[in-house]
Amino acid sequence: MASRHLSRSIVMQSLYEWDFYGLPVHPGAKEKLDTIVERNIRDFGPGLEDVNFVKSLAEGVVTHLADIDKIIEKAAPEWPIAQIPLVDRNVLRLGLFELLYANKDEVPPKVAINEAIELAKSFAGPISGKFINGVLGTVYKQIEEP
């Protein structure tokens, strides 16, 4: 598995665990996510070349969480954020962070979308890849319009 793909997998799994326990709304949530990320790097990414990439992705998602969740609700209005399955929700959060806020020279938008789809295919249900593609594709079209 490529290093960046593994890094994204670790971030998605960390966000999933963080979200599962309802930590995004609790005080100290960021510190708890940092602890989860550190443990997951140790458990799933021994020898990972760039642990800072993992940490920067997780931190970026948390920093922009409220905005990202609003974008998800606008792009998928028939799916309130609380009703989106946990894996899909956190793959979307990660994908949208990379699509909207990451350095486009490092991660072109189509790479961000493709990576999110691959995560969904690996960790979620059979139709999750299509759902992720639809939401991220909608957002991508909106940001690419003149």
Q: Enumerate the domain spans of the chain.
A: 3-144
- What is the model's pTM? 0.93
* Stretches in the chain below the pLDDT threshold 50: none
- pLDDT value, residue 146: 59
According to DSSP H, which parts of 21-127 are helical? 29-44, 51-63, 65-75, 86-100, 109-123
User: Looking at domain 3-144, what is its CATH homologous superfamily?
Assistant: NusB-like (1.10.940.10)
- pLDDT value, residue 1: 54
Helix axes 51-63, 3-20, angle to 10 degrees: 40
Cα–Cα distance measured from residue 118 to residue 55, given in angstroms and rounded to the nearest whole number: 20
% of the chain at pLDDT higher than 90: 84
**C-alpha distance from residue 12 to each of 27, 93, 97 (Å):** 21, 9, 12
- pLDDT value, residue 144: 82
